[in-house]
Amino acid sequence: MIYHVAVTDLEGDTSLRKITLTDNRDGSTQTVPAHRLFICIGGVPNTEWAKPTSIIRDELGYLVTGPDLLVHGESPNCWTRDREPYDLETSVPGCFAAGDVRHLSVKRVASAVGEGAMAVAFVHKYLQEIV
C-alpha cells in the first residue's frame, strides 16, 4: 500500500502497465509498474454539516444511529420521542443515515444501497406516526 499520494497518470495499451503517483506532501512523482489498481479514497465522513445540530456523531465524525444511540438502554437526552430510535435513525427523530457515513457501518457499496432502501421504509414508518 502507498499512502498520501494521488494517481496522476495511468499508462498502458489494452491493459494497465504503469501508474504515476504524486506525493501529496512534497509534490514528488514516481512511476511504478502495475497491472491492477485499487484506490481507497478515504474513510473521513463528510458530516461537518451536522456539527451545529442535535445529531450525535462519534469521535471520528460518523453519525450514530438506531440502537447505537442507547446508553445503558436509555435514549440520548436530545431524543424527543416516546419510543427508541429506529434502525438508521439519528438522534433527531425522522432524520435517517445510510451507508459509509454511519457509525460502525460495513463500508461497502452493496451495504449502503441496502441501507438506503431500508431508510426509505423507515421514513414511511416515521411519517405514518406523525400524521
Q: Quick check: helix, strand or coil at residue 101?
A: helix
pLDDT of 40 strictly over 80: no
Q: CA-CA distances (angstroms) from residue 42 to 23, 29, 30, 79? A: 16, 21, 21, 31
pLDDT of 44 strictly over 90: no
Name the segment(s) of the chain with CATH classification 3.50.50.60: 48-130
For the sheet with 29-33, list strands across it.
Answer: 5-12, 16-23, 29-33
| Band of residue 63 on the pLDDT scale cut at 50, 70, 90 | very high
| pTM (predicted TM-score) | 0.72
**Residues counted in the chain:** 131
| Band of residue 114 on the pLDDT scale cut at 50, 70, 90 | very high
Mean pLDDT computed over 94-116 = 94
pLDDT of residue 43: 76
Fold of 48-130: FAD/NAD(P)-binding domain (3.50.50)
C-alpha cell, 79: 431524543
Mean pLDDT computed over 58-70 = 97
